[in-house]
Amino acid sequence: MNVVPDTSVVVDGRVSEQVDDGTFEDETVYIPRVVVDELESQANRGKETGWDGLDELERLVDHAADDRIELEYVDSRPDGSTYRGLNDVIIRSVAADYDAQLLTSDVVQSRVAKATGVSVEYTAPKTREPERLGIKEFFDDQTLSVHLKADVEPMAKRGDVGDMHYQPIRKSIATEDELKGYAHEIIQAARGRADAFVELDEDGMQIVQYGPLRIAISRPPFSNGWEITAVRALVQTSLEDYAHAAELEDRLLERQRGVLVAGSPGAGKSTFAQAIASFLSDNDFVVKTMEKPRDLQVGPEITQYTALSGQMEKTADALLMVRPDYTIYDEIRKTADFSVFADMRLAGVGMIGVVHATRAIDAIQRLVGRVELGMIPQVVDTVVYIEDGQIETVYDITIDVKLPEGMTAADLARPVVSVRDFESGRPEYELYLFSRQVVTVPIGAEEVERESGMNRLAKGEIEREIRSIARGRVDVEIAGMDRATVYVDERDISAVIGKQGERISSIEDRLGIDIDVRTHDEKSSSTPVETVRKERALDVVPEFTRHHVVLSLDADVGETVEVEADGEYLFTATVGRGGEIQLSRGTAVAEELERAIDDGRPIIAVHADE
């Protein structure tokens, strides 16, 4: 009896097994070239199935050398002609042409072969679960994650939540062969367990969910060496274990919410999200998850979804048909993720999103530019910031039409997103549009920092607007949150103000700031100290070369001077040979200096010790 195995049984090692037990003793085994090509492709992409199949082919070569079988590698068709089609079609064609029995573990291949008159034997796919998973020996009760890399001592994160330490767990280094062995065990085990699966299988990277373990296997060329990282949830919690539990429970039960669970890596975000999922499920809500990879430890009543055809957008479309009450999205990182989160929330689904952030406010700012400002409270109305496994901050997000904090003119009222402390109701931040961009302004204790930041922003926007009109130098002084004075050349006054003040009024309306336009001559005179300083200043002669801005001045080599433009400090420099200071064109300092020169602002240098 001649035999033609397809790729599935070669990978499983079924052919050599039947040679060993005498079933195929002295038979001819025909290996279609397409099987070899497929195994080679898989091995080149780092897939274990490819390597397993090549191991089986080597065993068959050894059996042929021992005269136990005849082994032939054959083209797609015996006459050498080509046959265009799928590999399975080609393999069935080879079996028919060589009057051989097709051996397969593919149930579809078996049914089609029977339907088309090809002799076929179906054997169930092999599941080869090892008696033990070697990598599990590195875990103990306090181990959060294990990190293995070729030629490096095995490391682990161990300790209690909030007190983790990254430490070596073995003195001898891990070898590449050792890691390959672990990887082979992991992949084989994932195929044979109901609670395990391969989440991601790409060139150079595989991610496996094995019970409570999420295992990432990487290899060259994706990484610079073989590496295995295994992570598990260290603790299981309930919502009652956290601060503000009763208030948060009431808030979640009141109606579907949009919640961001934020924190640094390892802070306990996913653990808290799991606690929310269990609480909602226990209170008669239909709960689903969206994860890539799927590693939340939730009960069997909660279905966990991953990216459908690699796209969370398709998963969201499917979930909207299922219509859950709440969906846990773990985790939100890219713009597409935020868009999916927002779309589902606006469709009426309660959403719990897990997001990386170093501060609670950063979680909200990650929405800016991805969600329209006025829609943010409809998408996210609650932010829970986790630190060291505990709730550090809870924010309540609302929107009102009001005067932003610190502004006084009534006509500057606008939509303002208010971020308040959940427990006290105290305002912490405001977000609103200022000159066509969203600004985040801290309230209360950070007032000085807020005003300084707003002044810089306002000054920059006013300068940009006025410079687009004026031909000469422009100076801006901020007199308050909603007032500023602009100084321009006499010749630019009429152009900046415009006919009957229309142009400056238009700028004021856009920026929300009252602007007083004056000439440079109206600027207040210098103080006595400034006058003395300017009298002792060194004249500077700027020159431009292809690559440098050169400042020539009457000073000694090695002397330190401060360079100013019309009294505004620019930079400190050391005088070089020939009494020159050279700045490379294109640098920030050189560009600022060139702008000052173009504006006609006087450039001086002052001895740094004056």
**Alpha-carbon distance 403 to 36, whole Å?**
72
Q: Say if 3-122 and 239-442 have the same CATH topology.
A: yes
Q: Report CA dihedral (205, 209, 214, 218) to the nearest 10 degrees.
A: -10
**Alpha-carbon distance 218 to 149, whole Å?**
9
The pLDDT score that the predictor gives to residue 433 is 82
**Alpha-carbon distance 65 to 100, whole Å?**
22
The domains of the chain are located at 3-122, 134-232, 239-442, 450-522, 528-607
What is the 8-class DSSP label of residue 229?
E
The pLDDT score that the predictor gives to residue 597 is 80
The residue type at 454:
M
Written as one string, the DSSP assignment of 495-526 is HHH-GGGHHHHHHHHHHT-EEEEEEGGGSPPP
The pLDDT score that the predictor gives to residue 353 is 95
pTM of the predicted protein model? 0.56
Written as one string, the DSSP assignment of 543-587 is EE-SSEEEEEES--TT-EEEEEETTEEEEEEE--TTSEEEEETTS
The pLDDT score that the predictor gives to residue 446 is 46
**Dihedral sign, CA of 407, 413, 418, 421?**
positive
**Alpha-carbon distance 249 to 405, whole Å?**
32
**Alpha-carbon distance 36 to 52, whole Å?**
12
**Alpha-carbon distance 388 to 409, whole Å?**
44
CATH topology of domain 239-442: Rossmann fold (3.40.50)
User: For residue 406, what are its two tokens?
Assistant: 């610190």
Place of tokens 């051989």: 100
Q: Are the C-beta atoms of residues 437 and 512 closer than 8 Å to each other? A: no
Phi-psi region of 159 (alpha: psi -120 to 50; beta: other; left: phi over 0): left
Q: How many residues does the chain have?
A: 610
**CA 246 → CA 142, 190, 243, distances in Å?**
30, 40, 8
Q: Are the C-beta atoms of residues 44 and 3 closer than 8 Å to each other? A: no
The separation between the first and the last C-alpha atoms of the chain, rounded to the nearest angstrom, is: 103
> Residue 108, SS3?
helix
Q: Are the C-beta atoms of residues 204 and 220 closer than 8 Å to each other? A: yes
Instruction: Point out the residues of the chain with pLDDT beneath 50.
Output: 78-85, 129-131, 445-452, 525-533, 610
Tell me which CATH code domain 450-522 carries.
3.30.300.20
The pLDDT score that the predictor gives to residue 298 is 84
User: For residue 291, what are its two tokens?
Assistant: 């994860």
User: For residue 496, what are its two tokens?
Assistant: 């900046």
The H or E element containing residue 572 is strand 568-574
Per-residue pLDDT of 17-49, as tens digits, reads: 888 888 888 889 999 988 888 888 888 776 777
What is the 8-class DSSP label of residue 428?
E
The pLDDT score that the predictor gives to residue 445 is 47
Q: Are the C-beta atoms of residues 272 and 242 closer than 8 Å to each other? A: yes
The pLDDT score that the predictor gives to residue 290 is 93
What is the 8-class DSSP label of residue 410?
G
SS3 content of the chain, % helix, strand, coil (to 5): 35, 30, 35
CATH class of segment(s) 134-232: alpha beta
The pLDDT score that the predictor gives to residue 482 is 67
Give the architecture (CATH level 2) of 3-122: 3-Layer(aba) Sandwich (3.40)
The pLDDT score that the predictor gives to residue 185 is 82
**Dihedral sign, CA of 211, 214, 220, 224?**
negative
Residues 6+ apart with CB under 8 A from 111: none
Backbone phi, psi, residue 479, to 5°: -100, -5
| Of the candidates 154, 160, 10, the residue with the CA atom closest to the CA atom of residue 87 | 10
Residues 6+ apart with CB under 8 A from 173: 151, 152, 153
